[in-house]
Chains A and B, each alone.
Chain A
Amino acid sequence: MSGFIITRELIKRIYTKYDAYINPLLKFIFALIILSVVNSKIGYMDRLDNIAIVLIAALLCSFMPTQVIALMTGVFMILHMYALALECALVFGVLFFLMFILYVRLVPKETMVVLITPVLYLLKIPYVMPVAVGLFGGPMSFVSLAFGVVLACFIEYVHNNATTLTSMEDGNIVGRITFVVDGLLGNRAMLAMIIVFSIVLLLVYVLRRRAIDYSWTLAVIAGSIAELVLFLICDIALNLNYSLGGIIFGSILAAGVGLFLQLFSFHLDYKRVENVQFEDDDYYYYVRAVPKVKMSATDRKVKKVQPSQSRQASRSTHSSQADRAVRHSETRSTASTARSIKTEQNAGATPAKDSQRTVHTANGASRTINR
């Protein structure tokens, strides 16, 4: 655990220092993944299903706001569907237009949720999303999840029925539109997933906001169990033919990811809770302060020792002949620089109590050494 916390602090420090470079890089990687997934699932247009085009598009997205990734993904999807059937592109375009104009325009922060949900759905692990969004988002984020699920189900439906769509007559525009819209509206599994995701998200959100010990852990575990149970109930009640192994694995994965995310953003030390009471003119305050768990990566201390002192100290401590020889060589080497620098490195973790102090020491020391 301490190793993880040290790594976390290191990552945070690196991110804070180089965020101007890391953010575009992350956007690039994300755009690359999402566009590759789209190409692999519905890559009907050969020209777009090309790694060079994907790389260029991802590079373009890396310097743009997140909404541009959504827009680019939408354009890719519409073009692929156009290559399959014009009607598919039309219905999907309307769906995407509605999502963008009615929702993303007002809440641009939720774009990532709308994008990640279909990607995880297509990778067969969408169960992570309600738990993660419940931890970091608000109660209204269920709309983003719902949009994400609708997009994913539409893509899956088109992917599964591509042969039927292409086998229909070319002039049968109405028939194709009816086929696609019926497939979307009559998808009970999609509706069940939206309802379950919304309930789980709200449950996780409500629990993690409670002023109780281990609220985030409780929220993650309760959310994952609720997800498992609700999907099983939906499966039995609506006969949806879900894979039991998939649901169980997905729920366990959701719990694992939730706990991992918790360690990164809300890791508290409940053993050192402080309850404080004070008052002002208008109120009496009952404050409960829970400290965060922090650890420093390394604790380097630089001691500057004068040559004369070092000789004196070494005379009193070293007695053996061999030690004297070593001391002699050390003294000779330091004499040229007129001082010796002794660096002590205490590897491992330092308890959180002293974290602030040690962090400062560590930073100061590393700067000294670099110079």
Chain B
Amino acid sequence: MIDENKVILMTKLAAYEQGEGKKYTSIAGYFRTDYVSSYLLGSIIAGTLAFAAVVGVYIFYSFETIMENVYETDFMALGKKVGTYYLVFMGIYLLLTYILALYRYSKAKSSLKTYYNNLKKLEKNF
């Protein structure tokens, strides 16, 4: 005799394992710090490249002005200014990445917790 409730629960669990469960299992396989760090590392590289691209376009955009004032420019001050912009930009971007990574990790953990509870329920009741 087929137990409908058991079939429903098993189908749900199987669908989860093949769908979002796969993604969440890989996330939960990391320690939280490792997962967040990998995200942050990717963002440091991406952010630096993006900043460099913007600076490159800015140099082209203001090329004439830069060339006109090239002998009067205080490169130390300019370097500090650019460095400050870089740090502010990276700070904001990394903060947003950190929040996103933390949210995804906790979501994966709670989702897997529900999955394991359902597994226990299956084992216990059937």
Q: How distant is the Cα of A214 from the Cα of B93 in the complex, in angstroms?
A: 38
Q: Is the CB of B47 within 8 A of A102?
A: yes
Return chain A residues, CB-CB under 8 Å to B64. 174
Chain B nearest CB from A321 CB (Å) reads 53
Q: Classify chain B: how many residues form its interface, as a range.
A: 10 to 19
The A166-194 residues at the B interface (CB cut-off 8 A) are 173-174, 177-178, 181
B61→A177 contact, CB < 8 A: yes
Per a CB cutoff under 8 Å, which of A101, A106, A173 touches B60?
A173
Pairwise interchain contact A98-B53, C-beta atoms closer than 8 A: yes
Asked if residues B60 and A105 are in contact (CB atoms below 8 Å), the reply is: no
A102's closest neighbor in chain B, by CB?
Answer: B50
Q: Give residues of chain A (51-97) contacting chain B, Cβ–Cβ below 8 Å.
A: 90-91, 94, 97
A73 → chain B, closest Cβ, in Å? 19
Docked pose: A97 CA to B61 CA in angstroms: 18
Report Cα–Cα, A98/B43, bound state, in Å: 12
Q: Which of A84-124 contact B (CB under 8 A)?
A: 90-91, 94, 97-98, 101-102, 105-107
Q: What residues of chain B lie closer than 8 Å to A174, measured between beta carbons?
A: 60-61, 63-64
Chain A interface category by residue count: 10 to 19
Closest residue of chain B to A87 (Cβ to Cβ) is: B60
What residues on A are CB-neighbors of B100 within 8 Å? Answer: 106-107
B54 part of interface (Cβ distance < 8 Å): yes
Interchain CA distance A102-B97 in the complex, whole Å: 10
CA of A90 to CA of B60, assembled, Å: 11
B46 at interface, CB cutoff 8 A: yes
- Return the contact of B53 from the options A97, A173, A177 (Cβ within 8 A): A97
Q: How far does the Cβ of B46 sit from chain A's closest Cβ, in whole Å?
A: 4
**A178 contact from B43, B54, B61, B97, Cβ within 8 A:** B61
Instruction: Say how far A154's CB is from chain B's closest CB, in angstroms.
Output: 13
Contact B49 A101 (CB under 8 A): yes
Which residues, 63 to 100 on B, are CB-close (under 8 Å) to A?
63-64, 93, 97, 100
- In the complex, which of the residues B47, B53, B100 has the most CB atoms of chain A within 10 Å of its own CB atom? B53
Docked complex Cα distance between A30 and B41 (Å): 34
Chain B contacts for A177, CB-based, 8 A: 57, 60-61
Q: B57 contacts which chain A residues (CB < 8 A)?
A: 90-91, 94, 177, 181
Complex Cα distance, B57 from A178, in Å, reads: 9
Nearest residue (CB) in B for A98 is B50
Could you name 23 residue pairs across A and B whose Cβ atoms are closer than 8 Å?
Answer: A90-B57, A94-B54, A94-B56, A94-B57, A97-B49, A98-B54, A101-B46, A101-B49, A102-B46, A102-B47, A102-B93, A105-B46, A106-B43, A106-B97, A106-B100, A107-B100, A173-B60, A174-B61, A174-B63, A174-B64, A177-B57, A181-B57, A181-B61
Q: Contacts A90-B60, A174-B63 given; 15 further ones with Cβ under 8 A?
A: A90-B57, A97-B50, A98-B50, A102-B47, A102-B93, A105-B46, A106-B43, A106-B97, A106-B100, A174-B60, A174-B64, A177-B57, A177-B60, A177-B61, A181-B57
Which 10 residue pairs spanning A and B have beta carbons closest together? A174-B63, A101-B46, A177-B60, A94-B53, A181-B61, A98-B50, A94-B57, A102-B50, A101-B50, A178-B61
